[in-house]
Amino acid sequence: MLSNIIDVFRILLVSASFFFGYLIGFAGDEYDPARQLNFMIPIVIVAVAGISGLEGLLYADKAAEAKGYEKGSKYQKQSAIALLSYTFMAIVVYFAKWGTLAELTVFGSFIFFFVFSGYVHAVSAIRDKNLAWQNINRPFITLMLIAGMVYPVLMYFKTQT
């Protein structure tokens, strides 16, 4: 139950960051992808990687059970720490004001992890018949996250040339 509440909270935070991020991007006379990305990237990373990392460390057994995985895996702790490292770097980059390229670098590393994580979850669903909600939603949520970020990222690079 706790894992489901955490999952819903994570999804709501990302949804809010998309809603307000797009509002910010389109708020002025001209579309501003940098402002949109500066708002969205830290929130998305903290919401997804930060919450998942804390969940994996603090509620490891419940998180594993919700995803249909074995409990007590050393890889789960390693994965949680990796997720927290993306979160830590996203926060540092944001508050140090290193700029959109630095934020995109952290986001790129984060999304690279989640693309392959989504692949692992999809394989688990198909091969192992692991149809736990938090297992089967990962590939789809990752694809939706990418789809929602494509436009501002492409527009950002278009404005830089």
Tell me which amino acid residue 9 is: F
Percent of the chain surpassing pLDDT 90: 75
How many Å apart are CA 158 and CA 120, to the nearest integer? 33
Q: Which is nearest to 124 in space by CA: 142, 137, 141?
A: 137
How many Å apart are CA 94 and CA 57, to the nearest integer? 24
The pLDDT score that the predictor gives to residue 24 is: 98
In this predicted structure, the answer to whether residue 64 has a pLDDT above a threshold of 70 is no
Global pTM exceeds 0.85: yes
Percent of the chain surpassing pLDDT 70: 97
- How many distinct structural domains can be found in the chain? 1
How many Å apart are CA 56 and CA 78, to the nearest integer? 9
Q: Estimate to the nearest angstrom the gap between the alpha carbon of 15 and the chain centroid.
A: 11
In this predicted structure, the answer to whether residue 154 has a pLDDT above a threshold of 80 is yes
Which range of residues forms the domain containing residue 139? 2-159
